[in-house]
Amino acid sequence: MNPASNANPAVLIRANPSLALVKYWGKCRFGRNRPASTSLALSLAGLTTRTELRLLPPGAAADQMTLGGQIQPDERFAAFFDQARRLYRHQRRYQAISSNDFPSAAGLASSSSGFAALALGCAALAGQAAGADFPATGDCLAADGLSARQLTQASALARLGSASAARAVYGGWTWLPAGAAAAIPLQAAGFWPDFRVLVVVASRSAKADSSRGAMNRTRASSPYYPAWLRDAVAVSREARLALYRRDLERLGQLARLSYSRMHASALAADPPLLYWLPASLVAIQCCAELRTAGIGAWETMDAGPQVKILCEQKDIAAIRAALSVALPAAGLIEASPATGPTLAAWPSEWVEGFGQP
């Protein structure tokens, strides 16, 4: 990158969280945050991270990261920004101002959209500074602004921040193989346009245990961790086939197996990791009753108490009606397959007012 070519390049990125139907839980022993289990995921339109990213003037001492108005700890971002400088060959520091329109660090995969937005921002800034043909105004699909190679690089960079973020660089359905550096886009959002995810917000509080610490504790102390990893291989393969057939029932069964086994391995850690709240169990029970009544409602859970219900658009009203009786106080967020992150270059005159909406 030639920083002199554009004194204060800045970009605005919007990205969506990546919900795993088949879970990543555990890291390879070596390989800088590579996942130990294969995950199959969908990027969710309806939940959005918005990130402004700029290069600070030469000589700035440190990177600056703000999320929801709060300055973030350096150590969570240092490896990521250092790698971005190595990858895009410059010494400048970054400033990022990020916000989510959904609860952060509450098991809604905010780190996936957060690091995906940062990585795409770094890639876009590198392209902009190098004089690439980059749109001056308006949003555009990342896929239109960056080449497949640049997206793979951004996915690998995002992985350093959060392995699930490697998937959130893409819209639609994604695949992150065990041991891989970057995610692979499997199908675009339009492949299954009626697919829906209804998020039951059982709690808006930030979780006590980060996914990172929790999965490391599971690996280090759960006697069920090796069994989790072993079984995950077949589950991921079959889930991918079920996705290609758009077979909600089979995909739902496999998603349920994946999260149940992931949580079983975590619950057996020392000390145990228990993410479920009473409201989570009510939502799980509600899904079971809906299925008995012939409605395709398949739940999954991540490292938090929220329950995400996999379903089709035609059943959304019935599922909402059942939840309004079972859990009248719970918030609901409806999500659909996301097209993919968007990026917009900022006109240079806006740069001085960086931080404006």
Q: Which residues pair with 343 in a beta bridge?
A: 13, 140
Cβ 39 to ligand DP6, closest distance in Å? 4
**Which C-beta is closer to ligand DP6: that of 20 or that of 319?**
20
**Three-class secondary structure of residue 188 per DSSP:** coil
- Least Cβ distance, residue 19 to ligand DP6 (angstroms): 7
Which one among 302, 335, 338, 343 touches ligand DP6, defined by CB under 6 A? Answer: 302
Q: How far is the CB of 318 from ligand DP6 (least distance, A)?
A: 27
- Residue 24 interacts with ligand DP6 (CB under 6 A)? yes
Element (H, E) at 326: helix 316-326
Residue indicated by tokens 């479920």: 276
Cβ 51 to ligand DP6 shortest distance, Å: 17
Preceding peptide of 271 cis, ω within 30°: yes
- Find the shortest distance in angstroms from Cβ 257 to ligand DP6: 14
Residue with tokens 């009626």: 194
Q: Does 169 bind ligand DP6 (CB under 6 A)?
A: no
Burial class (CB in 10 A: 0-12, 13-18, 19+), 102: buried
Q: Is 23 in the site for ligand DP6 (CB under 6 A)?
A: yes
Q: For tokens 């079983």, what's the residue? A: 264
- Residues paired with residue 141 on neighbouring β-strands, in sequence order: 342
Q: Are strands 195-201 and 184-187 parallel, antiparallel or unpaired?
A: unpaired
Nearer Cβ to ligand DP6, position 255 or 322?
A: 255
Among 155, 162, 174, 342, binds ligand DP6 (CB under 6 A): 162
User: Which span sits near ligand DP6 by CB under 6 A: 3-11, 19-27, 141-149, 322-330?
Assistant: 19-27
DSSP 144-184: HHS-HHHHHHHHHHHHHH-HHHHHHTSSSEEEE-TT-SS-E
- Tell me which of 181, 303, 333, 345 binds ligand DP6, using CB under 6 A: 303
- Name 120's bridge partners: none
Tell me: does residue 164 bind ligand DP6 (CB under 6 A). yes
For 191, phi then psi, to 5°, come to: -60, -35
**From the list 163, 183, 201, 287, which residue makes contact with ligand DP6 (rule: CB under 6 A)?**
163
Give the one residue of 1, 11, 15, 20 binding ligand DP6; rule: CB under 6 A.
20
Residues that bind ligand DP6 (CB under 6 A): 20, 23-25, 33, 39, 109, 111-112, 162-164, 211-212, 302-303
